[in-house]
Amino acid sequence: MNNKQLPTLGANSFESIKQTNEHGAEYWSARDLQFLLGYSQWRRFEQAIERAMTSCRQSGNKPAYHFAGAGKMIELGKGGQREVDDYHLSRFACYLIAQNGDPRKPEIAHAQKYFAVQARRQELNDQVTADMERLELRKQTAEEFKALSGAAQDAGVQSKMFGVFHDAGYKGLYGGLGRDGIKRRKAIPEKDNLLDRMNATELAANQFRMTQTRDKLARDGVRNQSQAIQTHEQVGKEVRDAIKRIGGTLPENIPPDEHIKEVEKRLKGAMPKLELDEREAGGLLGQDGHDGDADDGR
């Protein structure tokens, strides 16, 4: 096979030679990958494999998990066959071979680009997942803030004291810091809604504080403004103590995250561009299925 006949590495050709082992794991035959990467001599390609195995070990991974020695039967003239050395390679192993291949070969350059795109796509998928989690938590926290305000009213908190009531919860959770103190500590602009600058972990802690306060106000039958404010601060302290016990980062020490509106914009731009493989696209069917207002916690 001459160079003009060598197939180029792309989504279809690389994925088309993928196989599945007895454990259900995907793998590639080194003998098949050899020609795809522009190597006519096995000896040269095996040198690239050895360099890749070294890189695998240096990266803290076990080569045995990604490079498995195997034999492969090849066709000879007149219908004969002969067994030759081969490797079963994981996707990570294929990536390392491309990174350690001969950069003068256009096939290697193409492979490096291909794996770079795949890695970037995974990064984007991971980012989308994290963005969706944070956005959902932000929405849930906004709803919980409204529900807590209703519970506070039922517990006897007057409208003009809502700011004091909500600040009490922050002070309990943030070691004495109210909303304004938290913003100053984290250098968050006054115009920004505090919840809009919290990451997923901080949002979850505040959501828990709110739900537990709402439940306790109802459970204890609180009907006194001072008692309701005290209850909110005490629940905040309890949540803070729980974070300390498990060794978590105290909320005042969590850096502010980018504004939630930036997350929304990124999601709107990223969602249409997501490309799922056949397994992911099947969802639950698998491969068988082809703002800064005070009324929400500023």
Q: What is the pLDDT of residue 11?
A: 43
Residues 97 and 139 grouped into a single domain:
no
Tokens of 268: 């709107």
pLDDT tens digits for 197-225?
999 999 999 999 999 999 999 999 999 99
Q: Judge whether 292 lies within some domain.
A: no
| Distance separating alpha carbons of residues 236 and 254, to the nearest angstrom | 16
Q: Report the C-alpha gap between 151 and 231 in whole angstroms.
A: 12
The model's pLDDT over 132-180, given as tens digits with 9 standing for 90+, comes to: 899 999 999 999 999 999 999 999 999 999 999 999 999 999 999 999 9
Query: Can you give the pLDDT at residue 270?
Result: 59
In a domain, 40, yes or no: yes
pLDDT at 73: 58
152 vs 162: CA distance, rounded Å: 8
Domain that holds residue 221: 130-271
Statement to judge: residues 85 and 198 lie in one domain: no
What CA–CA distances, in Å, run from 171 to 1, 73, 158, 195, 211? 73, 72, 19, 15, 16
pLDDT interval class at 286 (50, 70, 90): very low
Mean pLDDT of 263-277: 63
Q: Do residue 72 and residue 172 come from a single domain?
A: no
| Together in a domain, 174 and 266 | yes
Q: What is the mean pLDDT of residues 5-15?
A: 54
* CA angle, residues 105, 109, 112, in degrees to nearest 5: 135
Q: Which residues pair with 67 in a beta bridge?
A: 89
Task: Answer yes or no: is 250 within a domain.
Answer: yes
Is the separation of the CB atoms in 199 and 254 below 8 Å? yes
Is the per-residue pLDDT at 184 higher than 80? yes
Position 166 in a domain: yes
**Is 260 part of a structural domain of the chain?**
yes
pLDDT exceeds 50 at position 271:
no
